[in-house]
Amino acid sequence: MQYLTAYGALIREGKLLKDDFVLITAASSVGIAAIEIAKAEGVISIAATRSGKKKSKLLELGANHVIVTDEEDLSERVNTITGGEGTRIIFDPIGGRALETFAAAASPSGIIFEYGIMAEDPTPYPLHLALMKHLTVKAYTLFEVVSNPDEHPNEFSKAKEYVFNGLIRGDFKPIISRTFRLSDVVEAHRYMESNVQIGKIVVTV
């Protein structure tokens, strides 16, 4: 699932180019798939995480740069990393007021994919920066890739082929952080909310 989600935004819609910069926020879950796709495509990935404890692991997983947002200014660090160009693609599941920061970090004609809404505060549209930079802010979900396969069979098949080939080559290595029994689902939610996981949380019957 995480690879199809990242594929739809980065490859199908974003059309990643060699030497692109891509900013991947909340990088320790679906973001891992995005980091691996970026690496496979020869793209420079900038992973963002709140926790400094995750920095070394994200670098180990293939991120070219990691920004710890509780300790660093995201837009300033992106500006430094990109030599003032900004990042063409931003892949974010958070939303909220951080969208203004992402717009500041974007390059001219950049695209911001919002594939979730984890923030509790509203998500104001950064109109001024969008006008100045000709930005696209796109609401995106996995269902753009997997819904209506009968109507768009080639799109779904291409997505699956891309993911399977990455798994076969060893470019994609899914990570399970922890597994819980269904009877322990409350504890699984507590673990997720603790923000210590790297990889997916699995609940089994």
- At 89-111, the pLDDT tens digits run 999 999 999 999 999 999 999 99
The rounded distance, in Å, linking the Cα atoms of 180 and 146 is 27
% helix, strand, coil for the chain, step of 5: 45, 20, 35
Structural domains of the chain ordered from first start = 2-144 (3.40.50.720), 175-205 (no CATH)
**Predicted confidence band of residue 196 (pLDDT cuts 50, 70, 90):** confident
The average confidence (pLDDT) of the chain is 93
* Beta bridge partners of residue 90, listed in sequence order: 23, 112
**Average pLDDT of the residues in 35-43:** 96
Answer whether residue 1 shows pLDDT above 90.
Answer: no
Which of 116-120, 128-132, 187-191 has the weakest average pLDDT?
Answer: 116-120
Buried/exposed 98-112: b ≥16 CB within 10 Å, e otherwise: bbbbbbbbbbeebbb
Which strands form 136-139's sheet, in the order they lie side by side? Answer: 65-68, 44-49, 21-24, 87-92, 106-114, 136-139
In terms of Cα–Cα distance, which of 44, 56, 48 is closest to 10? 44
Regarding pTM above 0.95, the answer is no
Confidence (pLDDT) at 149? 66
The rounded distance, in Å, linking the Cα atoms of 78 and 83 is 8
Contacts of residue 20, defined as CB under 8 A and 6 or more positions apart, other chains included, come to: 43, 44, 88, 89
